[in-house]
Structure 1
């Protein structure tokens, strides 16, 4: 099962390292199979729809779960992703659909169990990409073309991060040693400090490459992934960072983007959001809930529409890769305050 939420918010998170939270993607890891089921459970989420459309969008999912679980399943709207965590912590909700930072926070603070991850373009995570308009400096060999399957267009990559003539995979980390070629004063396009792909993961990667990101580079502030790419394309920055592969967002206005902007490195993978549950729920209930939500998108054509309309995703997967959530939390902790 694949695809993902289009969430943008990031909750503030605790700086402690996650210990034993794998909770493991095994639903039987929490609760007791002998514990009586509650008469009802509540799901907290931040929907993509607003106002009067909310009930219509939410009801099919909760009805599906209610009918198949045999208990009442309610849905409540959170004002932001951090509020989903607090709803779970106060037992106002027992299930949360939220972003990766909030998943980490819920696991760390309330021992929540990660049961599902959102998937986009066939993956539960994505890399931040280092782009350049100076391949002679950052590429060990001439750039080569690979196909970005989501859009069907060919884009340029170097340093072996993709195979020439093949479908690009976007899997990081890759070729991060090339970041050491960013020398003093280099203009680097970076997005807002709350952006994982446009700022946080790139800054951590550059710091780990020995670069002083405060005084060793010239930061070129941009808004949005498309503008990070365009800053490189237009020569305003020599290097820029954005999600994989943000070049497709400007392909119409810059048809020669693959010639002028080359991807030369990938950061660690940035996880999509997902679903977590309270550790108070019985294990057999968690197992059935996980299976039902995992299969929801395939249950009907209506379900596919509901998932996209409700929270902007097409599917969930029970392949949770909790270590990616842990790494995400550790990186976000560096940008608190």
Structure 2
């Protein structure tokens, strides 16, 4: 799945435990969140890179924030997304950069405030794509080629979900009725049950199409979006699901993937993650923090590199569209024991 992630340069591997990271406050805030600013704040997040890249990824951002806010901004690496929520709940972090599910949990469990959403290629959300190696069965028309703007590659789509010779939009839901053609016993590659694009949204869409996802299909477990595409490419499954457009992840090893793997349906849109803060931070600090982070990608060429190359984001936006997070929470509940 797509990761709204940043790595840290400020803490060593020992920081993975999220200990000792609460902020030192200059004075307490009142119940409205207004008052004196703390001397420091801590951002909790999950790294997208390993090794030496950790030292490069977050330092420009925390330095930028520290210099412009006039307080110390620290970073701590969380072991997983759930740990960011735990850190915020324990006041070991006052700011979290995390995925949509964890944003929902932080908002509902700890009264966190959603201040920014992750932006990739101009969008705050994305569809899960249904892929097949059997277009004669799943496509009502001839597949067409459209341009995937992220890398300029021409990829194949059918059922009118994209327009020939134009830039693909990746907007769902689209052609969900085509999922009804997944008949009993069909091999369907699905990712881990925690994956929104590789499992959760596809299962919801298939069930809405009348498919018994527990007993009516042959589930083929795969790890990662690339392997979901390759399962169809190699014939291990007739249908698979992954983020839009996961075929771009296998172009090097499968340069003819657009010929062999056709996108035939989009689920409803899945929200990107974003940034949330504790309610205890002063309102004017939160406003300045949000404004600075919103403008970070445009602040320098280095910042753009951090956001895009190391983080996988092109921007943050203050247009939070919180209803998308609420909808994701509804879907998430269906997969929680």
Are positions 1:124 and 2:124 aligned together?
yes
Map Cα deviations across residues 290-323 of structure 1 (whole Å, 9 max, x no partner).
Answer: 0001111221223234445764534212222212
Task: For residue 232 of structure 1, report the CA deviation from its aligned partner.
Answer: 1.7
How has the CA–CA distance of structure 1 residues 139 and 55 changed in structure 2, closer, same or farther, with 3 Å as cutoff?
A: closer
Are positions 1:217 and 2:217 aligned together?
yes
Are positions 1:137 and 2:137 aligned together?
yes
- Cα pair 1:129 1:267 within 8 Å, conserved: yes
Map Cα deviations across residues 16-43 of structure 1 (whole Å, 9 max, x no partner).
Answer: xxxxxxxxxxxxxxx7485333333222
If the length of structure 1 is used for normalisation, what is the TM-score? 0.85
Task: For residue 275 of structure 1, report the CA deviation from its aligned partner.
Answer: 0.6
Are positions 1:200 and 2:200 aligned together?
yes
Are positions 1:95 and 2:100 aligned together?
no
Task: For residue 51 of structure 1, report the CA deviation from its aligned partner.
Answer: 6.0
Are positions 1:73 and 2:85 aligned together?
no
How has the CA–CA distance of structure 1 residues 70 and 271 changed in structure 2, closer, same or farther, with 3 Å as cutoff?
A: same
Which position in structure 2 is the counterpart of 1:11? Answer: none
After TM superposition, the structure 1 stretch with the greater mean CA deviation from structure 2, 58-67 or 207-216, is: 58-67
Which position in structure 1 is the counterpart of 2:40? Answer: 40
Q: CA–CA distance in 1 between the matches of 2:34 and 2:246?
A: 49
- Cα pair 1:171 1:269 within 8 Å, conserved: yes
Task: For residue 63 of structure 1, report the CA deviation from its aligned partner.
Answer: 2.6
Task: For residue 124 of structure 1, report the CA deviation from its aligned partner.
Answer: 1.6
- Cα pair 2:120 2:312 within 8 Å, conserved: no
Which position in structure 2 is the counterpart of 1:5? Answer: 4
The 3-state SS of whatever aligns with 1:302 is helix
Which position in structure 2 is the counterpart of 1:294? Answer: 294
Which position in structure 1 is the counterpart of 2:12? Answer: none
- Cα pair 1:4 1:120 within 8 Å, conserved: no
- 1:103-252 matches, cutoff 5 A: 103-252=103-252
How has the CA–CA distance of structure 1 residues 247 and 60 changed in structure 2, closer, same or farther, with 3 Å as cutoff?
A: closer
Which position in structure 2 is the counterpart of 1:272? Answer: 272
The 3-state SS of whatever aligns with 1:205 is helix
Unpaired runs of 5+ in structure 1? Answer: 8-30
Unpaired runs of 5+ in structure 2? Answer: 7-30
Task: For residue 260 of structure 1, report the CA deviation from its aligned partner.
Answer: 2.2
Q: CA–CA distance in 2 between the matches of 1:148 and 1:53?
A: 28
Task: For residue 50 of structure 1, report the CA deviation from its aligned partner.
Answer: 4.7
How has the CA–CA distance of structure 1 residues 285 and 267 changed in structure 2, closer, same or farther, with 3 Å as cutoff?
A: same
The 3-state SS of whatever aligns with 1:5 is coil
Q: How many corresponding residue pairs? A: 313
- The alignment's C-alpha RMSD in Å is 2.4
Q: CA–CA distance in 1 between the matches of 2:320 and 2:326?
A: 11
Q: CA–CA distance in 2 between the matches of 1:200 and 1:103?
A: 17
How has the CA–CA distance of structure 1 residues 33 and 57 changed in structure 2, closer, same or farther, with 3 Å as cutoff?
A: same
The 3-state SS of whatever aligns with 2:326 is helix
Task: For residue 249 of structure 1, report the CA deviation from its aligned partner.
Answer: 2.3
Task: For residue 128 of structure 1, report the CA deviation from its aligned partner.
Answer: 0.9
- Cα pair 1:49 1:309 within 8 Å, conserved: no
After TM superposition, the structure 1 stretch with the greater mean CA deviation from structure 2, 319-328 or 299-308, is: 299-308
If the length of structure 2 is used for normalisation, what is the TM-score? 0.85
Q: CA–CA distance in 2 between the matches of 1:233 and 1:241?
A: 12
- Cα pair 2:117 2:319 within 8 Å, conserved: yes
Map Cα deviations across residues 240-283 of structure 1 (whole Å, 9 max, x no partner).
Answer: 11111122222333333222221110011122221101112222
